[in-house]
Structure 1
Amino acid sequence: MLGKLISYEMKAFGRIMLPLYGALLVLSVILGIGFQTFPQTVLSGRGFAGFGFLTLVFLFVSVCIAIFVMTATLAVTRFWKNLMGHEGYLMFSLPTGIGTIISAKTISVLIWSALSAISGLLSMTVFAMFFIRDLPSNDELLRIIQFVMEGLRNYLPDLIMFLILIAVSLAFFIMRIYASIAIGCQWTSHRLIGSVLAFIGLQILENGIGSILLETGSLSVELSELFWDLTHNCSSIGLQSIFITGLLIGTLIYGAVTYYFIDRRLNLE
């Protein structure tokens, strides 16, 4: 059932996000062709070609912003409408648990966030390809491949940990939003205001807990010594592991809060 729910969420996102990805890729190709064909006119910004290029740059930036905004908006609105509105009657009638529904929505948002980042990198790569005048020879290409492979071999563990840290951080943020919505929707009216206030309250609570932990003498000394050892004697993997562990714990706590308010105190519109 988890796979079916993820597939359903992916299709719902795809109807909006895929056209934006396509528009971004097309604009990157047009910008590359325009810059390669009329470099001086484009750089000066004069004439019809210069004005057209600036317009395309504006559209390119607008689509990039739209992709970011729509990914965040769909993550919130689909959770709100599917679970907190009238559609909740249908969603909760499915033969699956609430935890599975929440997990499916979170995983879908993570996947589409990754696809959004990949689409941005791909479009910039396509644009950069138009600046390559001469293709490298076989020997040069082989040296480039060897250089890249050597870099991956040396920094691959750090890169993997960094990507995991980004994914866990995003999951933590998404789950905080879901918990805020679940808490805010306990209000019989003004649910949006309640959700915003809950989000702010959770952020303040996080800051307060962090301050209390850091102000605890023994814990503060232990953390300082640990950070010193990790940053001066070890690689950054150990430090990233600490942050990942903390974020995972926070994600599970917010997931439990979301589950509790939906399972025990659900108030559909």
Structure 2
Amino acid sequence: MLRKLLKHEFRATGRIMLPMYLILLVTAVGSNLAGRGMLDGRYHILNILGVLIITAFGIAICGALLMSFVLMIQRFYKNLLQDEGYLMFTLPASVHQHIWSKLIVSSVWFIVTVLAIIAASLVVAYQGGFLRELLDFLRYFLEGLRKLEVSEAFNGTIYLAEFAVLMFLSLVAFSLQFYAALAAGHSQANHKLLWSVVWFFGIQFALQFAGSLLIIGSNELDVFNRLFSHWDPSPTVAIHVGLLMAIGCVIIYGAIFYAITTFFLKKHLNLE
């Protein structure tokens, strides 16, 4: 069922995000052309037009990022917490499947948006010898990779995998902050969006307060010094441990919001 939910989510959100990427590409091509001739032209009308096109590209970047964020909230809110929720919760799918369909799709669009912005920026920067320089850089980079030892190449691959996992989980945790607040706020009978805002800041304050107490307590008990005083790892091991600890912290952080979201969707959701 999760596969069907994902298919439905990508179809519904793709109608909005794909045109945004098309606008981003068109304005990127326009900005490239504007940078080549319009800004340095003799005619003021062309100079103004070039500035407007470049401004449109900047607005398109902001619009793509903002739309990814708004769509992440809007799909959860509209699909599960408003009238559509009556239909969605009658499907043979668990609350966990509904949540993960939203989380996966939102994270994918965040990642694709960043890649689209990078690609559009390359289009803007493209000049006569740009492609040749880019290919030369890639060739030198690949040659450098071939010169690495097996252990270095292996650790580098693991670094990238750990970093990719960290980024994905960070996006999931970021989305869950808003899902938890919306789910909790919609357990109330009235003023649900207002209560969602109150829940958002209340949960953030509680977690920040608990984290501060934990740090202060750890310092008072000298926990970290006791754990790591006799540990002298190599730089490679230290990086791995650091990334894994960051992944663990993000998992704990996201799990708190995930538990809040599932609790209120299962036990206290008020769709009236």
| TM-score, normalised by the number of residues in structure 2 | 0.86
Q: State the AA in 1 paired with 2:252.
A: I
Residue number in structure 2 paired with 1:237 = 240
CA distance in 2, matches of 1:141, 1:249: 38
CA-CA distance at 1:144 after TM superposition? 5.0
Partner of 1:169: 170
Report the counterpart of residue 82 of structure 1 in structure 2. Answer: 79
Matches within 5 A, 1:217-232: 217=218, 221-223=222-224
Per the alignment, residue 113 of structure 1 pairs with 110
In structure 1, which of residues 37, 57, 60 is the aligned counterpart of residue 57 of structure 2?
Answer: 60
Identity %: 28
1:26 paired residue number? 26
Q: Which moved more, 1:125-134 or 1:48-57?
A: 125-134
Q: Residues 102 and 123 from structure 1, CA distance in 2 versus in 1: closer, same or farther, beyond 3 angstroms?
A: same
Amino acid at match of 1:194: W
Aligned-partner SS, 1:266: coil
* Distance in 1, Cα, partners of 2:137 & 2:55: 36
1:231 Cα deviation after fit:
9.1
Residue 36 of structure 1 deviates from its aligned partner by 2.5
Give distance in 2, aligned partners of 1:58 and 1:140. Answer: 30
1:97 to 94, 97, 102: 94
Displacement of 1:120 in angstroms is 0.5
Match of 1:262 in 2: 265
| From 219, 240, 254, the counterpart of 1:251 | 254
Amino acid at match of 1:237: H
Q: Secondary structure at the match of 1:96?
A: coil
Letter in 1 for 2:240: I
Determine the C-alpha separation between the residues in 1 that align with 2:2 and 2:78: 19
Aligned length: 266
Q: Report deviation, 1:161.
A: 2.5
- Identify the residue that residue 208 of structure 1 maps to in structure 2: 209
1:132, distance to aligned residue in structure 2 (A): 2.4
Pairing 1:36-55 to 2, within 5 Å after superposition:
36-38=36-38, 40-41=40-41, 47-55=44-52
List alignment gaps of at least 5 residues for structure 2: none
Provide, for residues 132-159 of structure 1, a one-character-per-residue CA deviation record: whole Å limited to 9, x for no partner.
2683699887435424666994744333
**Secondary structure of the structure 2 residue equivalent to 1:205:** helix
The aligned residue for residue 146 of structure 1 is: 143
Instruction: Say which SS state the counterpart of residue 251 (structure 1) adopts.
Output: helix
- Report Cα offsets for 1:143-202 as digits up to 9, x if no partner: 354246669947443333333222211111111211111111122111111001101011
In 1: Cα distance, 2:159 partner to 2:116 partner:
23
Normalising by structure 1, report the TM-score: 0.87
State whether residues 231 and 239 of structure 1, in contact with CA within 8 Å, keep that contact through their aligned partners in structure 2. no
Q: Give secondary structure in 1 for the equivalent of 2:132.
A: coil
